[in-house]
Structure 1
Amino acid sequence: MVQKEENSAWQVWHRRSRACPRGSIPVRRSEDTLFQKNETVSPNAAADRATRGHQYATAYVNSKPKIYGTKATINVWDPIVQGSGDFSLAQIWLSSGSYETNDLNTIEVGWQVFPSKYGDAQPRLFTYWTTDAYYSGCYSLRCPGFLQTSSRIALEAAISRTSTYGGDQSGITIQIWKDPISGNWWLAVGVVTFEPVGYWPAELFTNMSDHATMVEWGGEILYQNISGLSTITQMGSGEYAEKGYRKSAYFCNLSIAEEPNSLQPVDDFNMQADHKDLYTITKSNTEACGNHFYFGGPGYGHVRSTAVRGAASLVLLFSTVFLVLWFL
């Protein structure tokens, strides 16, 4: 489903250099050093999650007693983001713990469009982690935590190719796994072949020091104007999930590890979308992608709700009647 390209040239900076000198790593310059998501609601309660400007459309598995890793391919898009402080992303979440006790641990990896953080509207590879339900946490290399080993992949670097509506699809494959020997959580990313990027030390975590209890894949948007559902920030491709292949964003070849170093295809998963008039998610199955899903939407730029359309029709009707009476 994803058009193949040379693995070493899928980030924009590769046009100038394919790798840093041996013993060094690429680091994107940034004035920002720490970002807190300040998310304080349950990840499993769709009604509660649509607060503080966040909206989600995700698939998840949380029925397994222990999860030691996950892997998936995501096609990459460049969604419209309404405000510079808003973002749109597609990512994997590995988690354990809860918001209620403020001990939620997460590892998050994917692509993100976030103008105020990165200075532009390009999709960029990013990582994030927290151990206290987002009261604190860290993006990529912006504070101590994730230890990078790769000299060829730069966290927060722009992704050079995005998917074309109705045309070629460009994507990245992400794998996160628990090393049974060191106990560290490792990350690998690639297009054609994998490149280990680095790891989160086991001692960084509390509830995830041994394993995760939930894996989630999907999209998230943040809009800062939370007085009403007025955002035109897009999720995924900006199209509803029902548009399907070559038009909607997707997660393909979903796998999880219920034992260390033992990835298996996902048999089934649950799905949720906070506001289905804005962003949707649908399940699919093909030989090439196994059980997978499409997700995304245009935000309030195109609301398909029958209630909203009905209200608009009533406004139009009353306006017409008023004009007729005015001219009689």
Structure 2
Amino acid sequence: MGFRGEMVIVSLMFFVVLGIEVVAGRTHSSLQESEIDRQLKLLNKPALKTIQTQYGDIFDCVDINKQPALDHPLLANHTIKMKPSSYPVWREEDAPLKNPLSLVMLGKERCPTGTVPIRRTSREELISAQNIQNLNQKRYISSLFTKRGHYHGSSVNITTNNPRVIKYQTSTARVRLWGGSMFEISFIEAGWLVSPRTFGDQRTRFYAYWTSGMRGCYNIFCPGFVQISQTTPVGAVLDPISIYNDTQYQIKVTIFGDKKNQHWWLSLNEETIGYWPMSILVDFQDTAEFVEWGGEATGPANLLSSAMGSGYFPKEGEGIAGKFRNVFILNETLYEAYPLEDVLYTQSTNPACYSVSDRRDWYSFFYYGGPGFC
């Protein structure tokens, strides 16, 4: 298949994503109080310990074998894996090129052995999720894509920003791995997001997302993603974040396949966070078909769109524009390798509002994003 065919496939995949049901829990067309209570009970498991962060988030230390992921019908008999059978071989960065890291801020406390931190879901968040279902959504991307291939994973450094986002909008910067066919889309992704509609605030947070078929889910808001780390939960606030024309902070996100058990693992700043079990991903084989790095802005069609990245166009450059750096794919032995230039191309759904820097060595770094107002 030629390059034009690859672009058609990715474009079709993008429009299928527009129709995916994004949930923050198991939403219903008309949630009654009893249904809300039922869902909260499923999501908020009994805690052995509770941690409240300086940002007001509550994390419950839940028995690792009773976490929400295992409520998925395909995971009823799942045995949790505490580590992958093999790890990526990360390259050592040159000190002068290395940005300081944004860290997950859970506080000085940690969960007891045998438990994992699960962010407590509020009643308001469930109601907000239902309201989102009733909104006509629009979505914009500004990304770097690979052509179709066999990809065992990816790692990338992403500067952390806090773009302008209002109620019912979401702005993300992430790496996404695509699997499946164009009519039965499966993908997994991770990075940072700002999402008042999901978390009720405008803070920059670490997140994971997966979809299989036509359903999608952030973090642990529906069964699926298995949390392993005791100190770094999905959904937590990242701090510090990049300062305009000053210090640029980053996170290093890695998603990789485990050939032995075929689960897909997530790490943040080279710490293993958890995994997506193979059994929940439709048509997601032991490799991904496409990899995408970039930003995405989503919100109601009747509102002007949110900012993406830092909120500035790529032409503003270092210290101002949002940035992806050390864009790696992982080979069969999980070594970081730069993708070949001839398998990369960019796509922006509305270049007047968001764009990707025009350069040939995208794998080294690229700028992305924009102010929005589409």
Is 1:204 aligned to residue 280 of structure 2?
Answer: yes
Alignment of 1:158-307 (within 5 A): 158-190=237-269, 194-224=270-300, 226-227=301-302, 231=304, 233-268=306-341, 269-284=344-359, 291-300=364-373
Shift of the alpha carbon at 1:285? Answer: 7.2
Cα distance in 2 between the residues matched to 1:285 and 1:25: 43
Instruction: Tell me the residue number matched to 1:109.
Output: 190
Q: Any conservation in 1 of the 2:298–2:305 contact (CA below 8 Å)?
A: no
Q: CA–CA distance in 2 between the matches of 1:79 and 1:120?
A: 12
Matches within 5 A, 1:57-68: 57-64=142-149, 66-68=150-152
Looking at CA atoms only, which structure, 1 or 2, has the larger radius of gyration?
A: 1
Once residues 285 and 350 of structure 2 are traced to their aligned partners in structure 1, the CA distance between those partners, rounded to angstroms, is 34
TM-score by length of 2: 0.67
Q: Specify the alignment match of 1:46 in structure 2.
A: none
**Alpha-carbon separation, structure 1, partners of 2:315 and 2:154:** 25
Give the secondary-structure state (helix, strand or coil) at the position aligned to 1:116. Answer: helix
**Most deviating of 235-244 and 291-300:** 291-300
Question: What RMSD in Å do the two structures reach over aligned CA positions?
Answer: 2.3
Structure 1 residues 244, 162: CA separation in 2 closer, same or farther (over 3 Å shift)?
same
What TM-score, normalized to structure 1?
0.76
C-alpha distance in 2 between matches for 1:54 and 1:254 = 24
Q: Secondary structure at the match of 1:117?
A: helix
Task: Give the total of aligned pairs.
Answer: 270
Corresponding residue of 2:199: 118
Q: Distance in 2 between matches of 1:284 and 1:162?
A: 26
Q: Partners of 2:119 and 2:264 in 1: how far apart?
A: 22
**Residue 204 (structure 1) shift:** 1.4
Show the counterpart of 1:312: none
Runs of 4+ deviating beyond 3 Å: 32-38, 283-286
Task: Tell me which amino acid in the other structure corresponds to 1:150.
Answer: S
Deviation at 1:220, TM superposition (A): 0.4
Does residue 1:30 correspond to 2:132, yes or no?
no
Gaps of 5+ in 1: 39-50, 302-328
Q: 1:62 to 1:285 in 2, by over 3 A?
A: closer
SS at match of 2:206: strand
**For residues 63 and 106 of structure 1, what CA distance do their matches in structure 2 show?**
14
The C-alpha deviation readout for 1:258-281, integer Å capped at 9, x for no partner, is 424233112322101111111111
How many Å separate the matches in 2 of 1:214 and 1:285? 19
- Give unpaired runs (5+ residues) of structure 2: 1-96
Which whole-Å CA distance do the structure 2 matches of 1:30 and 1:215 have between them?
Answer: 31
**Aligned equivalents of 1:231, 1:104: Cα separation in 2:** 28
Structure 1 residues 139 and 232, CA, compared in 2 at 3 Å: closer, same or farther? closer
Report whether the alignment pairs 1:93 with 2:176.
yes
Identity %: 29
- Residue type matched to 2:352 in 1? D
> What's the CA shift for 1:13?
2.1
